[in-house]
Amino acid sequence: MVSRFFIAVCVSLLLAACDRAPTLPKLSPHDVIVAFGDSLTHGTGASETSAYPAVLASLTSRTVINAGVPGDTTTSGLQRLPAVLAEYRPRLVLLCLGGNDMLRKLPEASTESNLRLLVQTIRASGANVVLIGVPAPKLFGGAPDFYTRIAEDMQLPLERDAFNEVLKDHRLKSDPIHANAAGYRQVAERMAEFLKEAGAL
């Protein structure tokens, strides 16, 4: 009876540990964060100082490099990622890619595979990763399930809703697929709160 009870307790604890969101090591004031992505990271639709990485830097008092390239797909992101990691040597990378893959109707399987390779490359450099979901470009799209699948399989912190909440509110958009300054500020505020909850700040 005791052994069965002990096993039940152990199983419960293991299940609770699996349900707990992945955490991040605390960043020092000198650690560099790289925001790696496409036009949503670049800040298309607003000024350079209004892009979410710039606002996040001011909110967190950390160096946040804007490594967003408009039009980037997960494939082109894989090609340029090593040089970005070598140049900035970040402690943390905020990975936000996949939107252009969806716009170009590229196979979801290849997008998911590329995102996994991006995560592996970042981790191999010694940096941690936060995955940011990009909503599908359709009404009530939301971030596709592959973001959740990657986060669960690779034990990654996932911010699934920051851009989804902004891009379904016309007051926060500069065009159908990009935020405006107010929208990027909201994303930055959500990311700052997310990083605090994950233990990075």
Which positions are annotated as active-site residues? Answer: 39, 175, 178
Give the whole-angstrom CA distance, residue 190 versus residue 179: 14
Concatenated DSSP letters for 13-64?
A: HHHHHHHSPP--PPPPTT-EEEEEESHHHHTTTS-GGGSHHHHHHHHHTSEE
Give the whole-angstrom CA distance, residue 194 versus residue 120: 22
- Residues whose CB falls within 8 Å of the CB of residue 16, separated by 6 or more in sequence, listed in order: none
Angle (deg, nearest 10), helices 52-60 and 181-198:
50
Q: Are strands 178-179 and 173-175 parallel, antiparallel or unpaired?
A: antiparallel
User: C-alpha angle 160/192/93, rounded to 5°?
Assistant: 70
Concatenated DSSP letters for 179-194?
A: E-HHHHHHHHHHHHHH
Residue 152: other Cβ atoms inside 10 A = 12
